[in-house]
Amino acid sequence: MSDIDDVKSRLNIVDIVGAKVPLKKAGRNFKGLCPFHSEKTPSFIVSPDRQTFHCFGCGKGGSVIDFVMEYDRVDFSEALETLAATAGVTLTHRIPDTPEGRIRQKIFEVNHLASEFYHYLMTKHDLGERARIYLKHRGVSDKTAKTFMLGYSPNGWEGLYRYLTKKGYAAELLEKAGLVIRSRSGRGMYDRFRGRIMFTLRDHRGNVVGFSGRMLDPDAKEAKYINTSETPVYIKGNVLYGLDVTKSAIQKENDCILTEGEFDVISSFQAGVANIVAVKGSALTDGHVALLRRFTERLTIAFDSDIAGDAASRRGIGIAEKAGLDIRVVVLPENQDPDEVVRANPGAFKKAVSAAVPIYDYFISSAVRRYDRTAAFGKKKISTELLPEIAGIENPIIQAHYVKQVARVLDVSEDVVNEGMRRLKKPVQPDRARESGSTTPEPVTHEERLEMYVLSLLVQTRTFDYLDELREAVAVSDFRIPAVRQIIEQLEKYQAEGTPFAIGRFTGMIPNELLSILDRAYLFDLSSVIDDAELVEREWSRALKELHKSVLKRKIRDTTARLREMPADEAGETAYLSLQQTVAELTNQLRTLEKPSVL
């Protein structure tokens, strides 16, 4: 047995997925809200029989390894290692076993050593004295400095470079990790970070992925902050500062306070507000939100309260709202960031967090603060900004509440606000499956959806009994979806063996390219009928009848079209009459099917 099969055989996908996504029993399967796209009605199905998952909303699906890869945003090797540790399996072929995986592992190694190098200099070496004084001035304790692995990069050109190359690491690797920069002549390397307070950047699993450095010399002409450039292990839009330390508190509170800078996190954490992270700037991304959704359902945004911070809050709110998070916004004293507020008065910051306002209240107060609502132009700017937001509220009671508030702010009637919203064009919703990058085509026509539904009933219920009935009603060649047609052909071969149907054995018989369609059929939610034999029988009869009717209608249309195109000469008369006869027979069959059943 291979490592992969050994790991899979010792795990139950329901346990692995259920630890991250709330699942409810739905017939023989489990159902929940998809963690990979925003939805309000569950379309995410997990099958203990097949040990697979599939989302009927975004199209993502696969094995337990695929789930971990997608959920944790890791490659195959890392996902297998994680699951092997959970299953207690010792891998015979150690990961990483790919060139990319080996490079990532080496970068993690040198980043870890660099973090220890910077931390040692800051805490133990004379070179770090100025950094220690600076952090003490900002109220950072030794314990906090250790927790977040704060450090100091010496104000020289080759300190880290010499340290790591002496340990045997190649200069090219250090360059790829973003720790050193090649000189303009191309003949040498020098340290990227020099004379800076160093913030260790770790992913949510604790791997050191990069660094951020703050210049200590106020007169220096270089940028105040610089970061690791993007590398094979560091993508800025997927990393949140402090999450590796604060994720447990975030899960416990079911709330994440989102700030802009490292010191916002450090000061707040030290003051007892532990459910906090920083985006390192003002750009909250889809990657950040997808990561946060694993740990919380609420996002409390506490960006700087100046104009730049206000604009950042609005961008972040749009992304987080799209992902379905409950969003609130902390209103801070003017021109102060969380770090300044916490250091001046920790209680005031905690009070501000507790008093965080719902997003729509924030939208309104933000617009009123930035525009003159007594002037016509100011009213125009406010309405342009607010009406699309209010129009997007689905709950009519909540929408009516905010319509009233906007009307009061603009000093107009509610009818005027409602009219303004009615004039807004409804945006076209993108195709979710296309956005997700799903490679499995979704059924488009009514007949194709019927085919998938019939296949779902077939593989989830009385498979071989219903296969006989299917053959009598619809020829396999009449199915429009090639994969469905091939699966039914494979079922016929299985039936001919004379052994009872078992989904596990059947999946081993069919080609891999058919598994995604089979999964979609086997994971389709039939929980409303699956446990009642009478309901199953009734639903099968109804679905089979509808599919039969749909096939007949298609054949009538196609044959009629051929009649119209046929030349009206004597040579074609026999064929013409034959097609007419075919249409008549098909029409009679359809009429018979459409007659109401006699009970």
Residue 599 lies in a domain: no
Residue 59 lies in a domain: yes
What are the backbone angles phi and psi of residue 555, rounded to the nearest 5°?
-65, -40
- In the β-sheet with 61-62, what is the strand arrangement from edge to edge? 24-26, 29-32, 44-47, 52-55, 61-62
Same domain, 268 and 303: yes
Q: Is 161 exposed, middle or buried (0-12, 13-18, 19+ CB in 10 A)?
A: buried
Instruction: With respect to residue 545, please indicate whether it lies within any of the assigned structural domains.
Output: yes
User: Which residue segment(s) compose the domain that 138 sits in?
Assistant: 99-234
Q: What integer pLDDT is reported at residue 430 of this predicted model?
A: 41
- 548 and 450 in a common domain: yes
Please check whether residue 368 lies inside any domain of the structure. no
Q: Tell me, what's the pLDDT at 580?
A: 84
Which pLDDT belongs to residue 77? 76
Residues of the chain predicted below pLDDT 70: 1, 73, 93-97, 281-282, 305-314, 394-395, 425-444, 567-572, 596-599
pLDDT for 133: 96
Residues 516 and 587 in one domain: yes
Q: Which of 47, 66, 87 is the last residue of a domain?
A: 87
The 3 state secondary structure assigned to 375-433 is CHHHHHHHHHHHHHHHHCCCCHHHHHHHHHHHHHHHCCCHHHHHHHHHCCCCCCCCCHH
Q: Do both 17 and 43 map to the same domain?
A: yes
Q: What is the pLDDT of residue 569?
A: 60
Task: Single out the residue in 53, 87, 121 at which a domain terminates.
Answer: 87
Residues forming a β-bridge with 189: 182
**Residue 599 confidence (pLDDT):** 41
Assigned domain for 21 exists:
yes
pLDDT tens-digit map of 515-539:
888 988 888 888 878 888 888 898 8
CATH number of domain containing 506: 1.10.860.10
Rounded to 5°, angle at Cα 52 from 47 and 57:
85
Residue type, 498: G
**Shared domain check, 202 and 184:** yes
The confidence score (pLDDT) of residue 54 equals 92
CATH number, domain containing residue 322:
3.40.1360.10
Which pLDDT tens digit goes with each residue over 25-57?
998 899 999 888 777 789 999 999 889 999 988
CA dist list (Å): 219 to 195, 268, 317: 12, 28, 36
Structural domain ending residue among the three candidates 234, 253, 280: 234
Whether 321 maps to a domain, the answer reads: yes
Amino acid 593: pLDDT: 80
pLDDT of 313: 62
Burial string for 305-315 (b: 16+ CB within 10 Å, else e) reads beeebbebbbe
Residues 452 and 583 in one domain: yes
Residue 163 forms part of a structural domain: yes
Do you find a cis peptide bond into 96, omega within 30 degrees of 0?
yes
d(CA 174, CA 237): 22
Q: Which long-range contacts (CB under 8 A, 24 or more apart) does 9-12 make?
A: 10/87, 10/88, 10/89, 11/64, 11/83, 11/86, 11/87, 12/48, 12/51
453 and 520: one domain?
Answer: yes
User: Do 408 and 300 share a structural domain?
Assistant: no
Indicate if 198 and 255 belong to the same structural domain. no
The pLDDT score that the predictor gives to residue 431 is 41
Residue 145: CATH number of its domain: 3.90.980.10
Q: Are residues 477 and 589 in the same domain?
A: yes
Tell me the CATH number at 68: 3.90.580.10
- Shared domain for 470 and 527, answered yes or no, is yes
Q: What single-letter amino acid sits at 363?
A: F
Domain assignment present for residue 369? The answer is no
Q: Count of domains in the chain? A: 5
Question: 210 and 126, same structural domain?
Answer: yes
Q: Can you give the pLDDT at residue 435?
A: 38
